[in-house]
A and B are shown apart, each in its own frame.
Chain A
Amino acid sequence: MARRTIQIDLNRVEGDLDFQLELEGNTVVDARCIGSLYRGFEQILVTRKPKDSLVITPRICGICGTAQLNAAVLALEQIGRIPVPPTAIRIRNLCLMAETVQSDLRQSFLFFTADFCHPKYSQRGFYETARAAFLPFKGSVHRGALEHSRHIVEIIALFGGQWPHSSYMLPGGVTAPANSRHIIDSLSILNKLTRWFEQDVIGTGLDNWLALETADDFFSWLAAKDAHSDSAIGLFSLIGRDIGLHRLGFGTPHMLSYGAYDDPDDAETPPPQRKHLFRAGFLDGDTGELKPFEQAEITEHVRYSWFQPYAGGRHPFQGQTIPDYQPHSDRYTWCKAPRYQNKVVQCGPLADALIDGEPLIRSLYQLEGGNAWLRQFARLRRTARLLQTMRTTLHQLAAHPDGPHMVSPVEKEIPDGEGFGLVTAARGALGHWVQITDGAISRYQVITPTAWNASPKDSEGRRGHWESSLIGLTVDDPDDPVEIGHIIRSHDPCLVCTVHLLDTGKRLTVWP
């Protein structure tokens, strides 16, 4: 059978990712996820003063800089055994949630649902409805998402002075208190977004929506009223399922979550023992068993990466990142291959919800597994939970007007030692591992959510999550593989997605 290679570029602001797929006929038989840009943040940090990480690491990403900052500060606090007051934890959480809400809404309605307007679907019954809602710059939901998603990060600017790339979290707290003006302004921003979300995205109130607990509840709700089926989430579900996204794009069954948002009521417990608002854990996809998360079980492999080779996997505290570009070998990426308990895992909103025990996502997962539709649905489900939790957080801040936002550390400098900061960014599990020797950073290792999901093969030859989610997929038209676009976008990797065929040099674009 004719075999050909398709190359898909995923150009992100943060760095470039490509997919190289081998098709036999119309079926994907091999997939390589290629990190095509070496960035070197980990090396930049070595030999610097520990607190430089608070300025440098938020620059890793223009979308999740708050999460990077949080991971960096948690690692330093762990090393210095530095306590943090509850008010500071609430401000940090509020800002982390604002960042995730923006990312999730943009990923869903600026990028994912736009594919439903692809000309391939022009003969389908849903086509005109899809265009009216999701067509870029014209559809009502696309325009609403554009307008409403941009204001939510103003909350971070209020508390952190700027967004993106802010550095307002310091060991011991945050730089500014939550004064009543900030709280009122934040509530007003939140209210505006929540109103739009209720009206246009879920077609009902947040409480009603979050009260749905089973797959049956959800499907009955969807059929109950026009307001539900015509809502953005209704259309996304009906169209997504109509084109079979609930049967595609599963990837690895193993799920990992570091837990999200430190519990301010448990502020006295230092991390990593401090409780989270959303639980951490590991879901073993083979047995269905939910196990406690243990960071010591993380390793990174470089067998297929352009780094100086070492055998097997290494924990980040023994991690090594020495670039060794070998374009003509079987190595194919600048990403390492992280593994948990030597297993290929996925992270992100679906893993987070399943591990936290969110009932509706669990019920849908039990029914149909971790498919592309559910992965995207879990992302939007999270938005509702975060909007609600942000409101609670603001009310708690208002109820403790005199709570200190900073407890200055006794020691001015961070002492020698090692620590890690593990947080949940919009795309999933984000970790920083830091070692300090003679007052300077001697090792800094970052594992991003995309490193987990976009992992290449490991030293045992096992593919990463995105790679495996495409194997066996059959596309209608290899010259315009929109099905691949749906699955890749459900993983939330990219802003722009172009395809070119290596065999002809002809360049195609996955619409739009």
Chain B
Amino acid sequence: MGGRHIICFGNELHGDDGFGPRIYTELCQLAWASDAEVFNAGIAGLDALRFLEGCRQAILVDALANFGKPGDVCLVRPEELANRPQRLSGHGLGLPYLLEAFKSLRGPVPEILIVGVEVTAAKPFSPGLSAKTEQAVPTTLQLIRSLLSE
């Protein structure tokens, strides 16, 4: 069953919510194994379901809230999102809704991992990451690399 998908979420116009798209830009500069594909899901909401299909592993990258100190890079499993009422980021319906929707569809479910950074502020219409979130970019890239080499 398919390869591995790295799917980045967020809105780069809204401060730290642009973390996912920022990681996407970095990932595009790097060389990847032939079975790994990188996607920028932006604020696609339910339309991002497509990116979860046809792969054996999906690594989702997004801004996180209430998972640690600002700038902390976290590896989260979908079950840890259940029963967390917080919206993870300022766009659309959020990852928990998307994952819930995906689970209820027929078809094979890939292993899903969520890589994120605890953000400082998703400031509306203020492009650019805060210093702590920016500093988390190299750690996040390393983490994604190590997940893919497993």
Contact = CB atoms under 8 A, between A and B. Distances in A.
A496 B46 CA distance: 13
Interface in B99-116: 100-101, 103-106
A13 interface: yes
A137 B82 CA distance: 14
Contacts of B45: 13, 62, 495
A137 B100 contact: yes
A137 B49 contact: no
Counting contact residues on chain A (CB < 8 A from B), the size range is: 10 to 19
Nearest to B45: A13
Contact of A13 (B92, B100, B101, B105): B92
Counting contact residues on chain B (CB < 8 A from A), the size range is: 10 to 19
B43 A150 contact: no
A147 B103 contact: no
B104 A496 contact: no
Nearest to A146: B101
B28 interface: no
Contacts of B47: 150, 153, 163-164
B92 A146 contact: no
Nearest to B103: A137
Q: Majority SS of interface residues in chain A?
A: loop
B104 A13 contact: no
B92 A147 contact: no
B147 interface: no
Contacts of A164: 47
Nearest to B43: A13
Contacts of A496: 93
B93 A147 contact: no
A143 interface: yes
A136 B100 CA distance: 9
B104 A137 contact: yes
B132 interface: no
A13 B91 contact: yes
A256 to B, nearest CB: 29
Nearest to B46: A150
Interface in A144-174: 146-147, 150, 153, 163-164
A11 B93 CA distance: 9
A400 interface: no
Interface of A: 13, 37, 62, 106, 136-138, 142-143, 146-147, 150, 153, 163-164, 495-496
7 contacts: A62-B44, A137-B103, A146-B105, A147-B106, A150-B50, A164-B47, A495-B93
Which 5 interchain pairs have the tightest Cβ spacing? A137-B104, A143-B104, A13-B92, A137-B100, A147-B105
